[in-house]
Every structure is written in C-alpha cells, then in structure tokens.
Amino acid sequence: MLTVLVVDDSALMRRALRDALEAESDIRVEIARDGQDALEQVARVRPDVMTLDIHMPVMDGLTCLSHLMVDSPCPVIMVSSLTEKGALATFEAMELGAFDYVAKPGGTVSTDLDGIRRDLVAKIRAATGTPAMSTRQHPPRRGPPPAAPAASAASAGHDRLLMIGVSTGGPRTLEQILPLLPTGAGWPVLVIQHMPASFTSVFARRLDGLCQLPVREVDRPTRLEDDVIHLARGDADITLSRRAAGLSLVPTPLDDQHLWHPSVSRFLQSAQGLLAPGNLIGALLTGMGDDGARDLADWHHKGARTIAEAEETATVFGMPQELINHQGATDILPSHQIGDRLVAWTRTGESA
C-alpha cells in the first residue's frame, strides 16, 4: 500500500485529489493543509510520496520543499497552476529536488482532475518504482540487433536535424545536455518535451539563459535554423513541412491518435520523405510511455543515428526502454555522456 500525503490549502482540491488517488486500490491518502502542517505530519505519516501545492498560507510549497529535502527527503510531486508564475515556481521546485509536477487543469483551485488523474497516478508510481496495477510489459524483440549505422552515413542534401524527445524528468536532463551543444556545428535542434504551453514558454527562456545556442519556443510556423534550439510549444503537436523558405516546423492541433503531446511520434511520421534518415540524429530521454520509440527505431533501421538514455540516469525508463526494445538505439548512454556524443556526431567528419 502506497501512502501519499496531499498538501493543499483548498479543501475542494484536497477532496478532489483524495478521491482521484483512492480510486486506486493500493493508494492511501493523508492530508495536510499547508507547508507547516505537512512538515509536522511527515514523521507521523511517513509518506511514500507527497503532492505539494505551491501557493499556500502559513508556509508555501517552495519553503516546505526546501525544509523537507534537508530534514526528511521523500519524492515530491508539485501540483502547479497553469500560469507563468506557476511555471516559474515549478522549475524552482525542480531545482530544490522535486521529482516532477502535474499542472492543475483549471487554475489554482479545480475539482476537475480527470485530465490529470492518469498523469498524477503514473508519476506517483514512477516516483516510488511501483508498477501500474494493469500495465502490460512489452518484451524485447528477439534475434540479433541490426548493424549500427555509420556516423558518416549522412545522405545527400543539406537538410538535417538533431531531435530530442523527452517527458517525465526532462527539464533537469535537458539542462544537463543542451548547454554542451556548441555554436558553429550547423545543425538545427528540435526538443519535444511533454509539457503545457504555459510551461514551455517559460522553459524556453530558462534554457536560453543556460545554453550556448539560442533557444526559441515554436509557437508559429518557423523555418528550421542551423545552430538554434527549437522547443516545441506545449498543448499542440509539431510537424515538419517543406515551404518556400525551406523546411519549417509547424504547430499543429492535437489529434486523438497520439496519447502524449507534443507528440514525438507524430513529428517523426511527418518528417518521412522530407529528411534523409542519414541526416537525422534522434535521442529519446527519460519519460513515461513509448512516445516516438517505434517511429525512431524505424528511422534507425534506415540509417539514422539514435541514442536511448540508460536506465541508470533515467528518472523514468519508459521511452528509452521502448526504443531499446525495438532495437532502435545506436547507443545507450547515461545522461552525462549524451551531450558529448551529440557534439561528436554533429562535428563534420567525426565518427561516433
């Protein structure tokens, strides 16, 4: 039985979170009304996970988190409002040690949790290493893996792309990898991070202050530019299109065929015929689910160079594991080695 301490100053939100979580037969919920109350209850409750609101009286969520990480560390999932202020506070919480976050669908107080219930439960399980009650594991394909494509297998044509797909645990991992990408390599970079739009705009500005390359949120049709990190806008998918000015990234309304958004799979499907496989470098990093795994494996089998983040550093070994299961990874690397490998692959004439 998992014990979750729900910390929120709103009685409506506490009740909604309790009902959502206790619908799971193996989750028990305890309640705290603010950060101070939470710190006082931790020793008694000994929670496996805490969900923590940010804006509360008496003691706010960030102050509570800073004390908790020093005195009684446990996995914490922030419950954040869909505002720029909420996004800024959420990234600060991640720096302090929060495991991840979920965004309230209707603002500061909302009892409509249907849209985030699955995400919240999955992140609670991920934080404790507890599998979903009804999850089916897909076994790896049998037989020898295909030969790894040569790093110099770039096909004719100038169009090329470095694409990174990532979900749960992504912000910290991206902040470790992207600042290593140098100017002058001549590759456009696309980052597809599962995240709401109010968060991707803040995250783009945050990354822009950390990286050597400029970081721009793609919130309108945008031509792919060399030596620029393009961050797909949340609450939409992103596709590749050839326009008069060249290859362009196009924010696209969500569809019902893809579970995760922005969708890595949908982007890779849209890029077929527009990029030669040898001109694509792709990486799947930490994240729940399998978004992009089968499609990136198909690109790999045709000549693309690909990286799956190793289990030892992945916050959630879902997306990269699925890429490995489909025999789609040229390399399997811990996060602290991925940046250097990407730099080597994007340098002209340098092998993997």
**Residues involved in catalysis:** 167, 194, 291
Q: Are 159 and 279 in contact (CB under 8 A)?
A: yes
Q: Which residue, chain included where needed, has tokens 């922030």?
A: 78
220, two tokens: 């309108």
Helix pair 170-177, 335-346: axis angle to 10 deg: 50
| Residue among 289, 85, 52 nearest 170 (CA) | 289
Q: Are 169 and 286 in contact (CB under 8 A)?
A: yes
238/252 Cα distance (integer angstroms): 5
324, two tokens: 């490995």
335/33 Cα distance (integer angstroms): 37
Measured in degrees and rounded to the nearest 5, phi and psi for residue 312 equal: -65, -25
Strand 215-218 to strand 229-232: parallel, antiparallel, or no bridges (unpaired)?
parallel
Q: Are 231 and 203 in contact (CB under 8 A)?
A: yes
Name the 3-class secondary structure at 336. Answer: helix
175/211 Cα distance (integer angstroms): 8
| Residue among 161, 137, 208 nearest 304 (CA) | 161
Task: Considering only CA atoms, give the Rg of the chain.
Answer: 21
Query: Which letter does DSSP use for residue 138 in this model?
Result: P
| Amino acid identity, position 106 | G
8/66 Cα distance (integer angstroms): 17
